[in-house]
Amino acid sequence: MARIFVTRRLPGDALERLREAHELEIRDADTPIGREELIAGARRSEVVICALTDRIDAGVLHPGLKVVANYAVGVDNIDLAAAREAGVVVTNTPDVLTDATADLAFALLLAAARRLPEAERFLRAGRWEGFRASALLGRRVAGAHLGVVGAGRIGQAVLSRGKGFGMELSYWSREPKDPARVSGATHRPLDELLERCDFVSLNVALTPETRHLLDARRLERMKPGAVLVNTSRGPVVDEAALARVLAEGPLFAAGLDVYEEEPRVHPALLELENVVLIPHLGSATDVCREAMVELCVDGVEAVLAGREPANRVI
């Protein structure tokens, strides 16, 4: 029997599978856990099931810890080198959130392109006085040029959705992909993609190499009138520079689900009409979130039974 610490309430009933054979402690809150509470919970446990807001580093890891199951696909919240040194298995939740996140990326693309939040605010404020041919003009999506930065599972799914809209497709990744996996999209250098594409979707993992991948220089080189969508991780974009190019050009609009210092949003972004801001909802469907818990539980059960987990990161 192992002691398992879960850092927050999670949807569905998959965790109850663990209670049948192990001692399960679930923190009774769905808010970020404090640092001291996280350390204390981890230190009395052999398993930690954590969320993307929980920083798992050498201060949390200890010799008796066997597995950290991350309730997210990205693992930038975990010090993987420290986990490897401590002999702790790390798992994540790949695949099950691909479609939900790609759907949201395309929803943000459409909302930003057609100025939907701005239009709704306009109507709710009682400012609509009838049809005007020049009111709230947006950007054409069908047939436009979509560029995806990061052609992993989610990036490929975004390209597939773009294909359904008859868009010209390009992507950037470190290595070209099989054309069938990227809906026949063209592999381009990142700067060229940014200069050519009407819509750019960010779908890279956060690593030291991708932090501020879109810095001031690259943002300023984007195609005039382009729309930027970010459903990956906030620090991939320099938010201060993004606010500036939204206010002064060249960008037409942006759709953001993630932020550099979550839950804080850069004040300059909050003042702009031409950016759609939502609170990190990429995987937020009932089916997806419950499937993520299932994957966490699958990985934990495998490690505790001495089997290789299918969703192992290290």
Which one of the listed residues 8, 22, 153, 233 is annotated catalytic? 233
Euclidean distance between CA atoms 133 and 110, whole angstroms:
20
Which one of the listed residues 62, 244, 280, 312 is annotated catalytic? 280
C-alpha 205, offset from chain centre: 8
Is residue 74 within 8 Å of residue 52, measured between CB atoms?
yes
Residues forming a β-bridge with 69: 49, 91
Q: Is 55 a catalytic residue?
A: no
Q: Is 187 a catalytic residue?
A: no
Q: Is 280 a catalytic residue?
A: yes
State the distance between the two ends of the chain, measured CA to CA, in whole angstroms.
23
Is residue 314 within 8 Å of residue 68, measured between CB atoms?
no
Q: Is the dihedral of CA 278, 282, 284, 286 positive or negative?
A: positive
- How are strands ordered across the β-sheet holding 145-149? 186-187, 168-172, 145-149, 199-202, 227-230, 253-256, 275-277
Q: At what angle do helices 98-113 and 153-164 cross, to 10 degrees?
A: 50
User: Which residues does the annotation mark as catalytic?
Assistant: 233, 262, 280
